[in-house]
Amino acid sequence: MNANVYNSNIYSLIKKEYEQKQALAYRKLMEKKRELFFRIPELQDIEDKIQKIGFTYSKLILSGKKSSDTEVSALLFDMEKLRSKKKELLKANNYSEEDLEPEYECKICKDTGFVDDNGVAVKCSCYRQKVINYLYNQSNLSRIEQENFDTFNENYYPDVVDEKRYGIKISPRENILRIKERCMAFIENFDSPNEKNLFFSGPTGVGKTFMASCIARELINRGKTVLYQTAPVLFNTINEFKFRQSSVNEELNDAAYRNIFEVELLIIDDLGIEPATSARYAELLTILNTRQDNNYNHPCKTIISTNIGPKQLYEFYTERVASRIVGYFDRLMFAGEDIRMLKK
């Protein structure tokens, strides 16, 4: 992480981003209203009357009047009549009440970044995801716009059984469809502490990163936080945290480090291409153990993607690391031809 770029202004930048989102939603709403009022002139008159009644109602309540008072009850009755009339008028012109509401990017927090939790304002999942994206500019989550289940195509995988060539007893096509089904189950059961992590192995270009991106998009759409990192970048982030030379941006360094252990889904891509050192083994072991412990309190799942086969785990990593992967993860073997070459 470049501390000179991701400095203490990060939260101000995010706040400004939400303000811009709300301003945009308001401008679009005003444009829609102008169009509707032009097409249905009576609608503006009803809206004006509702606003006027609302203002009068607020004044009465602030002056000590109760909802049961005759004057207040009459206002509420008139407002309900106007709302019913507005609804009928919109329906008669093939519109709905939603056409007079702002269109927010995040329906959960309405682009404020915060939600109410028993009277306490807490950060929305979209806010937490923004922090992650700012902290990890290498996250590559932009790929999920193209790499998702909507663009998944099993026809890239041969529909022939060739164990000698592909290393599996079924065709690569049947295999990838089974993997997809397992990944969908992972998404559906994501909140369960009993749902295992996923370990993707197989040669280059057979869809491991693509499948991880598919899962990432689905979970982000469901309000989960996701961090995608290649193994070398992940370990460099840990290094930067451990060996930082000053307290400058310490809060952000701490947040970047904590996210590795606390983000709801951590995707570690290309595991095995990082330099092999005992320190790296210890760091990976800490990540796996801590996230597994956290998973019992809140969703804290991990997906590992690698070219290393299950049998090579014990050769490449220490027995403790390999045993954690075997115990904590469902291992899915990808097979087929290099899709990138097929697309050329």
- Give the CATH number, domain containing residue 247: 3.40.50.300
Task: Indicate if 86 and 204 belong to the same structural domain.
Answer: no
Task: Indicate if 160 and 287 belong to the same structural domain.
Answer: yes
Q: What is the pLDDT along the chain (344 residues), one digit of tens a residue?
A: 333 333 345 677 888 889 999 999 999 999 988 999 999 989 989 989 988 988 888 888 888 877 667 888 888 898 899 999 999 999 999 988 888 889 999 989 999 999 988 888 998 988 888 877 776 554 556 666 678 898 999 999 999 999 999 999 999 999 999 999 999 999 999 999 999 999 999 999 999 999 999 999 898 888 788 888 888 888 887 877 777 644 445 555 667 788 889 889 999 998 887 776 777 778 888 999 999 999 999 899 999 999 987 677 777 777 888 888 888 999 999 999 999 888 76
Contact 266, 252 (CB under 8 A): no
Rounded to a whole number of angstroms, the CA Rg of the chain reads: 27
CA 262, 299, 196, 216 torsion: positive or negative?
negative
Count CA atoms within 13 Å of residue 87 on its CB side: 6
Number of domains comprising the chain: 2
Q: How far, in Å, CA of 114 to CA of 128, rounded?
A: 10
What pairing do the DSSP bridges indicate for beta strands 120-123 and 114-117? antiparallel
Is residue 56 domain-resident? yes
Task: Indicate if 278 and 168 belong to the same structural domain.
Answer: yes
The whole model's pTM is what?
0.68
Where do runs of H (alpha helix) occur along 224-318? 231-242, 250-262, 278-294, 313-316
Task: Indicate if 100 and 145 belong to the same structural domain.
Answer: no
Domain that holds residue 215: 136-343
pLDDT digits (tens, 9 = 90+) for 80-138: 999 999 999 999 999 888 888 899 999 899 999 999 888 889 989 888 888 777 765 54
**pLDDT at residue 161 in the model:** 95
Task: Indicate if 96 and 207 belong to the same structural domain.
Answer: no
Is residue 91 domain-resident? yes
